[in-house]
Amino acid sequence: MTDQRVTVELKNDLPITGVLISVDQFLNIRPDSITVLDEAKYSHILKACFSVQPLLFLDGGEKSFIRGYVLRYVQLPAV
């Protein structure tokens, strides 16, 4: 399932789309080529995600990382 474009929605309603690089046993996700859907609508949430203990690290590169416990769902591509 890696190298497929997926959309994840976080528990704070923030939808993120990216190419799935890896997933571990805790459902921590490493996406690449990420985009935040409707970034203007969720700008206040994006600021809150980068607090003292970040829930996600989004730099668009290899260091992008989303912690599994903040995921609401993962939308997989149609087969």
Give me the domains of the chain, ranges plus CATH numbers.
4-73 (2.30.30.100)
Structure tokens at 64: 């992008």
Instruction: Name the residue with higher pLDDT: 16 or 59.
Output: 16
CB atoms within 10 A of CB 46: 14
Cα dihedral 4, 25, 69, 43 in deg (nearest 10): -30
* Local structure of 43: helix, strand or coil: helix
CB atoms within 10 A of CB 45: 14
Residues 58 and 55: their CA atoms lie apart, in Å, by 10
Q: What is the pLDDT of residue 50?
A: 52
Model confidence over 10-31: pLDDT tens digits?
887 888 888 899 999 999 988 8
